[in-house]
Structure 1
Amino acid sequence: MDSNSGQKTKIGVLLVGHGSRLPYGEEVINGIADIYRKEVDHPVAVGFMNISRPSIPEAINELAAMGVEKIIVTPVFLAHGVHTKHDIPHILGLDNGSEHHHHHEHEHEEFEFDGEIVYTEPLGADPRIAEIIRERVKSAI
Protein backbone atom coordinates (compact mmCIF):
# COMPACT_ATOMS: atom_id res chain seq x y z
CA MET A 1 0.00 0.00 0.00
CA ASP A 2 1.83 3.08 -1.22
CA SER A 3 -0.43 6.01 -0.54
CA ASN A 4 2.31 8.36 -1.73
CA SER A 5 2.23 6.92 -5.27
CA GLY A 6 -0.17 9.59 -6.47
CA GLN A 7 1.81 12.40 -4.87
CA LYS A 8 4.61 14.26 -6.61
CA THR A 9 6.72 14.46 -3.46
CA LYS A 10 7.38 11.86 -0.77
CA ILE A 11 6.64 13.55 2.56
CA GLY A 12 8.27 12.91 5.93
CA VAL A 13 7.32 14.47 9.25
CA LEU A 14 9.73 15.48 11.99
CA LEU A 15 8.35 16.14 15.46
CA VAL A 16 10.79 18.28 17.45
CA GLY A 17 11.08 18.29 21.23
CA HIS A 18 13.32 20.31 23.51
CA GLY A 19 15.35 17.46 25.00
CA SER A 20 16.31 16.90 28.63
CA ARG A 21 18.58 14.93 30.92
CA LEU A 22 15.40 13.43 32.38
CA PRO A 23 13.50 10.80 30.34
CA TYR A 24 9.95 12.15 30.68
CA GLY A 25 9.86 14.63 27.80
CA GLU A 26 11.46 12.11 25.47
CA GLU A 27 8.88 9.48 26.47
CA VAL A 28 5.98 11.89 25.83
CA ILE A 29 7.22 13.01 22.40
CA ASN A 30 7.91 9.42 21.34
CA GLY A 31 4.43 8.46 22.59
CA ILE A 32 2.85 11.26 20.55
CA ALA A 33 4.87 10.14 17.51
CA ASP A 34 3.68 6.54 17.97
CA ILE A 35 0.04 7.66 18.10
CA TYR A 36 0.51 9.91 15.05
CA ARG A 37 2.27 7.16 13.04
CA LYS A 38 -0.82 4.96 13.38
CA GLU A 39 -2.92 7.69 11.73
CA VAL A 40 -0.71 8.52 8.73
CA ASP A 41 1.03 6.76 5.86
CA HIS A 42 4.20 8.85 5.71
CA PRO A 43 7.41 8.35 7.73
CA VAL A 44 7.51 10.12 11.10
CA ALA A 45 10.71 10.82 13.02
CA VAL A 46 11.44 12.50 16.34
CA GLY A 47 14.36 14.85 16.92
CA PHE A 48 15.49 16.85 19.91
CA MET A 49 16.92 20.34 19.98
CA ASN A 50 19.24 19.68 22.91
CA ILE A 51 20.72 16.83 25.01
CA SER A 52 18.37 13.97 24.00
CA ARG A 53 18.90 11.78 20.97
CA PRO A 54 18.28 11.63 18.14
CA SER A 55 19.20 15.23 17.44
CA ILE A 56 17.29 17.21 14.81
CA PRO A 57 20.06 16.64 12.22
CA GLU A 58 20.13 12.89 13.01
CA ALA A 59 16.35 12.69 12.56
CA ILE A 60 16.56 14.58 9.25
CA ASN A 61 19.24 12.14 8.06
CA GLU A 62 16.95 9.25 9.10
CA LEU A 63 14.08 10.64 7.00
CA ALA A 64 16.42 11.42 4.09
CA ALA A 65 17.60 7.78 4.14
CA MET A 66 13.94 6.76 3.66
CA GLY A 67 13.86 8.77 0.43
CA VAL A 68 11.66 11.65 1.51
CA GLU A 69 11.84 14.78 -0.62
CA LYS A 70 9.99 17.14 1.71
CA ILE A 71 10.18 17.24 5.51
CA ILE A 72 7.48 18.95 7.52
CA VAL A 73 8.97 19.96 10.88
CA THR A 74 6.55 20.54 13.73
CA PRO A 75 7.81 21.81 17.09
CA VAL A 76 5.96 19.99 19.85
CA PHE A 77 5.93 23.12 22.00
CA LEU A 78 2.83 24.97 23.19
CA ALA A 79 3.96 28.47 22.25
CA HIS A 80 6.62 30.34 20.35
CA GLY A 81 9.74 31.34 22.23
CA VAL A 82 13.46 31.67 21.59
CA HIS A 83 13.72 27.97 20.77
CA THR A 84 10.94 27.89 18.17
CA LYS A 85 11.69 31.31 16.68
CA HIS A 86 15.49 31.16 16.62
CA ASP A 87 17.22 27.98 17.82
CA ILE A 88 15.29 25.36 15.84
CA PRO A 89 15.25 27.42 12.60
CA HIS A 90 19.03 27.87 13.06
CA ILE A 91 19.56 24.11 13.37
CA LEU A 92 17.36 23.61 10.29
CA GLY A 93 19.33 26.23 8.34
CA LEU A 94 16.22 28.40 7.95
CA ASP A 95 17.37 31.41 9.96
CA ASN A 96 18.97 33.43 7.13
CA GLY A 97 22.15 33.91 9.13
CA SER A 98 20.45 35.28 12.24
CA GLU A 99 22.97 35.79 15.01
CA HIS A 100 20.46 35.48 17.86
CA HIS A 101 20.39 31.96 19.23
CA HIS A 102 21.38 29.98 22.29
CA HIS A 103 24.27 27.56 22.15
CA HIS A 104 23.07 23.98 22.33
CA GLU A 105 24.80 20.64 22.18
CA HIS A 106 23.36 19.68 18.76
CA GLU A 107 23.62 23.04 16.97
CA HIS A 108 26.85 22.30 15.08
CA GLU A 109 25.70 18.91 13.79
CA GLU A 110 24.96 18.79 10.10
CA PHE A 111 22.53 16.85 7.96
CA GLU A 112 22.51 15.64 4.37
CA PHE A 113 19.18 16.58 2.84
CA ASP A 114 18.63 18.41 -0.43
CA GLY A 115 14.83 18.48 -0.29
CA GLU A 116 12.37 21.02 1.01
CA ILE A 117 11.97 21.72 4.73
CA VAL A 118 8.69 23.26 5.89
CA TYR A 119 8.61 24.53 9.47
CA THR A 120 5.16 24.73 11.09
CA GLU A 121 3.78 26.65 14.03
CA PRO A 122 3.91 25.15 17.56
CA LEU A 123 0.75 23.59 18.99
CA GLY A 124 -0.76 26.85 20.23
CA ALA A 125 -4.06 27.53 21.97
CA ASP A 126 -6.20 24.72 20.61
CA PRO A 127 -9.60 23.50 21.84
CA ARG A 128 -8.23 19.93 21.86
CA ILE A 129 -5.64 20.95 24.47
CA ALA A 130 -8.37 22.62 26.53
CA GLU A 131 -10.31 19.33 26.36
CA ILE A 132 -7.33 17.49 27.85
CA ILE A 133 -7.21 20.07 30.67
CA ARG A 134 -10.96 19.62 31.28
CA GLU A 135 -10.44 15.84 31.52
CA ARG A 136 -7.53 16.23 33.95
CA VAL A 137 -9.49 18.59 36.17
CA LYS A 138 -12.59 16.38 36.07
CA SER A 139 -10.55 13.34 37.12
CA ALA A 140 -9.08 15.30 40.04
CA ILE A 141 -12.44 16.49 41.42
Structure 2
Amino acid sequence: MVAVVLVGHGSRLPYSRQVVEKIAEYVEEMGDFETVEVGFMELCEPTVQEAVKKAAESGVDKIVVVPVFLAHGVHTKRDIPKMLGLEPEWDDDEDDHDHHHHHHRDYTPVDVDAEIVYAEPLGADPRIAEIVIDRIKEALGEE
Protein backbone atom coordinates (compact mmCIF):
# COMPACT_ATOMS: atom_id res chain seq x y z
CA MET A 1 0.00 0.00 0.00
CA VAL A 2 1.18 3.48 -0.89
CA ALA A 3 0.44 6.85 0.68
CA VAL A 4 1.25 10.22 -0.83
CA VAL A 5 2.38 13.43 0.85
CA LEU A 6 2.28 16.62 -1.19
CA VAL A 7 4.64 19.29 0.11
CA GLY A 8 3.84 22.94 -0.43
CA HIS A 9 5.99 25.92 0.43
CA GLY A 10 3.53 27.50 2.81
CA SER A 11 2.45 31.12 3.02
CA ARG A 12 0.74 33.59 5.28
CA LEU A 13 -1.96 33.79 2.61
CA PRO A 14 -4.63 31.09 3.03
CA TYR A 15 -5.03 30.66 -0.73
CA SER A 16 -1.57 29.10 -1.00
CA ARG A 17 -2.58 26.35 1.42
CA GLN A 18 -5.93 25.87 -0.29
CA VAL A 19 -4.27 25.32 -3.67
CA VAL A 20 -2.10 22.49 -2.34
CA GLU A 21 -5.08 20.97 -0.53
CA LYS A 22 -7.14 21.09 -3.75
CA ILE A 23 -4.35 19.41 -5.71
CA ALA A 24 -4.29 16.73 -3.00
CA GLU A 25 -8.04 16.20 -3.48
CA TYR A 26 -7.50 15.71 -7.22
CA VAL A 27 -4.66 13.25 -6.59
CA GLU A 28 -6.86 11.33 -4.16
CA GLU A 29 -9.73 11.19 -6.67
CA MET A 30 -7.59 10.34 -9.69
CA GLY A 31 -5.01 8.05 -8.09
CA ASP A 32 -5.20 4.74 -6.29
CA PHE A 33 -3.48 5.58 -3.01
CA GLU A 34 -4.24 4.61 0.55
CA THR A 35 -4.18 8.24 1.65
CA VAL A 36 -3.05 11.63 0.38
CA GLU A 37 -1.78 14.15 2.92
CA VAL A 38 -0.36 17.66 2.65
CA GLY A 39 2.52 19.23 4.55
CA PHE A 40 4.22 22.59 4.34
CA MET A 41 7.79 23.83 4.51
CA GLU A 42 6.92 26.87 6.59
CA LEU A 43 4.21 29.27 7.74
CA CYS A 44 1.44 26.63 7.53
CA GLU A 45 0.47 23.51 9.38
CA PRO A 46 0.88 20.60 9.23
CA THR A 47 4.63 20.40 8.84
CA VAL A 48 6.23 17.99 6.39
CA GLN A 49 7.10 15.65 9.25
CA GLU A 50 3.56 15.74 10.67
CA ALA A 51 2.07 14.93 7.27
CA VAL A 52 4.46 12.00 6.79
CA LYS A 53 3.63 10.64 10.26
CA LYS A 54 -0.09 10.91 9.53
CA ALA A 55 0.37 9.09 6.22
CA ALA A 56 2.32 6.35 8.01
CA GLU A 57 -0.55 5.85 10.47
CA SER A 58 -2.58 4.31 7.65
CA GLY A 59 -0.23 1.31 7.77
CA VAL A 60 1.33 1.77 4.33
CA ASP A 61 4.58 0.22 3.12
CA LYS A 62 5.68 3.27 1.13
CA ILE A 63 5.11 6.99 1.34
CA VAL A 64 5.78 8.97 -1.82
CA VAL A 65 6.62 12.58 -1.00
CA VAL A 66 6.03 14.99 -3.88
CA PRO A 67 7.22 18.59 -3.68
CA VAL A 68 4.53 20.75 -5.28
CA PHE A 69 7.17 23.13 -6.64
CA LEU A 70 7.85 23.91 -10.28
CA ALA A 71 11.61 23.49 -10.07
CA HIS A 72 14.35 22.31 -7.75
CA GLY A 73 15.77 24.77 -5.27
CA VAL A 74 17.20 24.84 -1.77
CA HIS A 75 13.95 23.54 -0.28
CA THR A 76 13.67 20.54 -2.61
CA LYS A 77 17.38 19.70 -2.66
CA ARG A 78 18.29 20.34 0.98
CA ASP A 79 15.45 21.17 3.36
CA ILE A 80 12.82 18.57 2.47
CA PRO A 81 15.34 15.69 2.23
CA LYS A 82 16.64 16.64 5.71
CA MET A 83 13.09 16.56 7.08
CA LEU A 84 12.58 13.14 5.51
CA GLY A 85 15.83 11.76 6.92
CA LEU A 86 17.29 11.46 3.42
CA GLU A 87 20.67 12.60 2.19
CA PRO A 88 20.39 16.21 0.97
CA GLU A 89 21.67 16.96 -2.52
CA TRP A 90 22.61 20.50 -1.51
CA ASP A 91 25.60 21.07 0.71
CA ASP A 92 25.11 23.78 3.33
CA ASP A 93 28.49 25.17 2.25
CA GLU A 94 27.00 25.89 -1.18
CA ASP A 95 24.37 28.15 0.35
CA ASP A 96 24.93 31.79 -0.45
CA HIS A 97 23.67 32.70 3.03
CA ASP A 98 21.56 35.42 1.44
CA HIS A 99 18.50 33.21 1.25
CA HIS A 100 15.55 35.53 1.75
CA HIS A 101 13.63 33.24 4.12
CA HIS A 102 14.49 33.41 7.76
CA HIS A 103 11.56 31.48 9.15
CA HIS A 104 12.18 28.89 11.80
CA ARG A 105 12.02 25.40 10.38
CA ASP A 106 12.35 22.13 12.22
CA TYR A 107 14.72 19.89 10.30
CA THR A 108 14.36 16.98 12.70
CA PRO A 109 14.11 13.92 10.46
CA VAL A 110 10.78 12.14 10.62
CA ASP A 111 10.90 8.58 11.91
CA VAL A 112 8.35 6.19 10.42
CA ASP A 113 8.28 2.48 9.62
CA ALA A 114 7.30 3.01 5.99
CA GLU A 115 9.83 3.49 3.20
CA ILE A 116 9.97 7.12 2.08
CA VAL A 117 10.26 7.67 -1.67
CA TYR A 118 11.08 11.23 -2.68
CA ALA A 119 9.70 12.35 -6.04
CA GLU A 120 10.86 15.12 -8.35
CA PRO A 121 9.15 18.53 -8.41
CA LEU A 122 6.65 19.21 -11.20
CA GLY A 123 9.29 20.39 -13.67
CA ALA A 124 8.92 21.51 -17.26
CA ASP A 125 5.99 19.57 -18.64
CA PRO A 126 3.72 20.17 -21.64
CA ARG A 127 0.70 19.82 -19.33
CA ILE A 128 1.90 22.86 -17.39
CA ALA A 129 2.34 24.76 -20.67
CA GLU A 130 -1.32 23.99 -21.43
CA ILE A 131 -2.30 25.61 -18.13
CA VAL A 132 -0.11 28.63 -18.92
CA ILE A 133 -1.86 29.01 -22.29
CA ASP A 134 -5.24 28.76 -20.53
CA ARG A 135 -4.18 31.54 -18.13
CA ILE A 136 -3.04 33.72 -21.07
CA LYS A 137 -6.41 33.24 -22.78
CA GLU A 138 -8.23 34.06 -19.54
CA ALA A 139 -6.15 37.22 -19.11
CA LEU A 140 -7.02 38.26 -22.66
CA GLY A 141 -10.70 37.47 -22.13
CA GLU A 142 -10.61 34.66 -24.70
CA GLU A 143 -11.93 31.89 -22.47
Mapped pair 1:61 → 2:53: yes
Question: Which residue pairs with 2:73 in the alignment?
Answer: 81
Letter in 2 for 1:92: L
Instruction: Please list every run of at least 4 consecutive aligned residues from structure 1 whose deviation after the TM superposition is greater than 6 angstroms.
Output: none
* Equivalent position SS for 1:107: coil
8 Å Cα contact 1:78-1:123 kept in structure 2: yes
- The 5-angstrom pairing of residues 1-141 of structure 1 reads 10-42=1-33, 43-95=35-87, 100=92, 105-109=104-108, 111-141=110-140
Paired with 2:42 and 2:85, the residues of 1 have a C-alpha distance of 16
Amino-acid identity (%):
52
Evaluate the alpha carbon distance shift between residue 127 and residue 89 of structure 1 in structure 2; reply closer, same or farther with a 3 A threshold: same
Letter in 2 for 1:94: L
Deviation at residue 95 of structure 1 after TM alignment: 2.0
Paired with 1:113 and 1:106, the residues of 2 have a C-alpha distance of 20
Unpaired runs of at least 5, structure 1:
1-9
When normalised by structure 1's length, the TM-score is: 0.84
Paired with 2:103 and 2:115, the residues of 1 have a C-alpha distance of 24
Deviation at residue 109 of structure 1 after TM alignment: 4.6
Unpaired runs of at least 5, structure 2:
none
Deviation at residue 41 of structure 1 after TM alignment: 2.5
